Amino acid sequence: MLDPSVRGVLDRINDAEPGDRLRVVVAAPGGYGKSALLSEITNSAVRVVDDAHLLDDGALRALAAEPLLVLAYRPWPRRAVLAELTRGAVVVPLAPFSREQVREFLHAPKPVVDFVFAQTGGVPGLVERLGAVSEVSADALSAFRAELDWIDPDLQKFLLAAEAGAAQRLDLLSTLLDKDFDEVSDIIEAARATGLLAEDGTLHPLALRAVGALTRAERRIAVRQKLAQLQLDRGGPVLDLVRPLLDTGIGGPVFAAAAREALSADPGLAARLFKASTGGGAPSAETAAQWATASAMAGDLDSALRLADQVISAQDTPHRRTAAEVAAVALAHRGQLARSTELFRWAATPYAAAFAGIGLIGTGHLFEELPPQPPTMLGGAASLMLQGVRQSVAGAETVALSTLVRASSMLEPAGGAVLLPDSPAALAALVAVHCGEPNVAESVLDRAVETGTGGVLMSVRHRLLQAWLQMLRGNLTVARETLMSVRGAFEPRDWIFAVALEVGVARRNSDLATLRRTWEQACEAVLRHPVDLFSLLPLGEFAAAAARLRDQERLAPHLAQASALLRSLGNPPLWATQLHWSLLHAAIIDENTAAAEEHAAALAVNRERSRYCAILSSAAECWLDVVAGKVDADRVEEAARSLHAVGLWWDASRLAGQAAIRTSDRQAMVRLLDCARLLQGRPVSARRSPESDAPVLTEDAGKLSDREREVAQLVLEGMTYKQVGDRLFISAKTVEHHMARMRQRLGSTSRSDLLAQLRHIMGS
């Protein structure tokens, strides 16, 4: 294990004759292997002295007459007599082990060697103390106890400061130790001599753990408190010093300062630090307002509202407006947009004024004044958000979308460090969905999720809107998986979208059992969330579901409120069109021709306003003709492809499929079925005949046709014949014929026998 140079000196020592004169010095910190080297000396004529730094001056002077002398000592304390005694001596350099030497010493695999080397810095004594392990045991730490108990109080205090991360802060150490800089430097040199410090003056990780584990808790707390206060007095960061003091029962201003540092990166930690800063007492108005902000950013809206209300209720404090903003944000997420707007208006700060304007429009009140905003990211984004929402109700759909996308891009660098009632990405996505730009919605939401815009509070909303896009495209499995990935205790605004997603996926899957099971939640979600401009999408889904379940009466008051809200805004085409489209489908499901024609007429009014309005209006008229049994294949295919182009993939496929099963023209039926399958993203057979949807008898009873396999797979998944027919755009009767033919061919004696055989065939 010895370096060649050290081995050479050792050979000289062991080969020395009694008449020779040789003086060797082995000076190194503790644990570097001095004693191990001395044990290799076999020459009895050599006087060997270990720990020479502990001898008094008289004993050291007595060694001057020794002709063959080897002295081992630590480099601190410095001794004049020792320096005189070793002048001109041969110096043996001892260094920490390299990684390869650690491997040779331990005979351990690479992962263990890497761990031990990282923990010990290669100091031989520490390597031996830790052993060939991949985690630090309590026994390895307890081995430091005698050494730590032995050192003097100033050195102990320095080690605690080093454990707290202040090993290189001479200014803090000077005040902490009540020493001048020269004295502090001496203490640091004494610490280096222990072998516990790395080259940069910090503790080796193993030593750091030992100091933290073996020092009395009250001493560690006292040192950290003192360092944190000193750092705070100098205006420096204190979070790293204070974080370990959480849950110790102490508090004070340093905790509030640490909380402000943590707010943007970890609002949950910031809330805990603000709580600790009170020491169990009542917070000041300033602390309560900041604590409320941290709680809201962490998603704890109950605490945020409680703390904000305390500050708002107080008199003569400048922090009431901050608290009002926090409460307004919390209420916006709870679906109380009107009350949120009132609080924003009362707060009367620049940001609050912009968000109040958005809230006013969202609750049906036109808002013209655009207050000046501070030249910050949030100020610019808030201004653009209000401008974009105003443009969306003024009929400038494309401009509105562009404005909101720019607002989202502007806020991306802030990530989760801002508290928002709604994000520009979410508003941009809503506008994009309402005007048939799903790719823009997808892009802006992906960026918002990637950058964490709005933090925890907005993350669920962004993910739910991503799921909504998947549902509109007919990717129902992906939509449901995305919904399930954000399961939790939803706030009302998120809950209404989450329930609407469940309802929408179940309706599109013809899953009546799930639809019925979820309907009560849908009704409750609507009751808990007052109608506003930004919740029209789920309301439209609920309208179609209500028609399917024949329970329109419970939803009627809310739909009336939505209509009144749109009228108060002048029936803006962007927001009204999508709702009329959903209500058209609800009327078709309910077989209410008069209502369907009314909504088709409403769509026709805005036909010239935008491409999206024109597409939905044409598709609505096409739907009415299909329902009436008048199927023009060219017109249906054109309408379906247009719907697909604006992101309504499922609707497009549905239109083509329903037209196919209503036409008496077999050639048109095949063509429209192929169109439906293509728009649904499913393969279209290269060879189709008008009879291809009829049951097909194959020569081999163990084989099924492509259509039979589709039917069998869906039946095995538990679907009813009606649900299978809806999925494949064929009638339930045709599904029944397929099943009967398969049963006959396979010779099944019962339905259970047929299902068992189909499972075997499909599995193989």
Confidence band, pLDDT 50/70/90 cuts, at residue 542: very high
The answer to whether 92 and 98 have CB atoms below 8 angstroms apart is: no
Q: What share of the chain is helix, strand, coil (3-state, %, to 5)?
A: 65, 0, 30
Mean pLDDT over the full length of the chain: 89
Indicate the CATH number of 4-91 among 3.40.50.300, 3.40.50.10470, 1.10.490.10, 3.20.20.20. Answer: 3.40.50.300
The strand pairing partners of 91, in sequence order, are 25
Contacts of residue 329, Cβ cutoff 8 Å, sequence gap at least 6: 296, 304, 340, 419, 420, 421, 457
Q: What residues does CATH 3.40.50.300 cover in the chain?
A: 4-91
Q: Percent of the chain at pLDDT above 70?
A: 96
Residue for token digits 């998947």? Answer: 470
Q: Going by DSSP bridges, is the β-strand pair 47-49/68-73 parallel, antiparallel, or unpaired?
A: parallel
Q: Give this prediction's pTM.
A: 0.78
Query: Exposure pattern of 97-119 as b/e (b: 16+ CB <10 Å)?
Result: beeebbbebbebeeebbebbbeb
Quick one: pLDDT band at residue 686, thresholds 50, 70, 90?
Answer: very low
Calculate the alpha carbon distances from 670 to 656, 663, 726 in Å: 11, 10, 16
Residues 312/324, Cβ–Cβ less than 8 Å: yes
> Considering just the CA atoms, what is the radius of gyration of the chain in Å?
39
Mean pLDDT of 346-350: 86
Q: Write out pLDDT tens, residues 230-255.
A: 999 988 899 999 998 888 888 889 99
| Interatomic CA distance for residues 708 and 693, integer angstroms | 9
State the number of CA atoms in the 13 A half-sphere of 94 facing the CB.
Answer: 27
- Residue 79 and residue 246: Cα distance in Å, rounded? 44
3-class secondary-structure state, position 27: strand
Reported CATH class of domain 706-763: mainly alpha
Residues of the chain with CATH 1.10.10.10: 706-763
Q: CA–CA separation, 238 vs 247, rounded Å?
A: 17
Which pair of tokens denotes residue 633?
Answer: 């294949």
Q: What is the tens place of the pLDDT at every residue in 698-752?
A: 334 456 787 888 888 888 888 888 888 877 777 788 888 888 888 877 777 778 7
Write out the two tokens for 458.
């907005």
pLDDT of residue 761: 78
Whether the bond between 124 and the residue before it is cis, its omega within 30 degrees of 0, is no
Which amino acid makes up residue 707?
R
83-92 CB contacts, 8 Å cutoff, 24+ apart: 85/60, 85/61, 86/23, 86/25, 88/23, 89/23, 89/24, 89/25, 90/9, 90/12, 90/22, 90/23, 90/24, 90/25, 91/24, 91/25, 91/27, 92/6, 92/9, 92/24, 92/25, 92/26, 92/37
Q: What is the pLDDT of residue 682?
A: 63
Pairing between strand 68-73 and 22-27?
Answer: parallel
Per-residue pLDDT tens over the stretch 380-425 = 899 999 999 999 999 888 999 999 999 999 999 998 889 999 999 9
Angle between helices 552-568 and 512-528 (to 10 degrees): 50
DSSP 633-662: HHHHHHHHHHHHHTT-HHHHHHHHHHHHHH
Give 684's pLDDT tier (boundaries 50, 70, 90). low
The 10s digit of each residue's pLDDT in 458-502 is 999 999 999 999 999 989 999 999 999 987 779 999 999 999 999
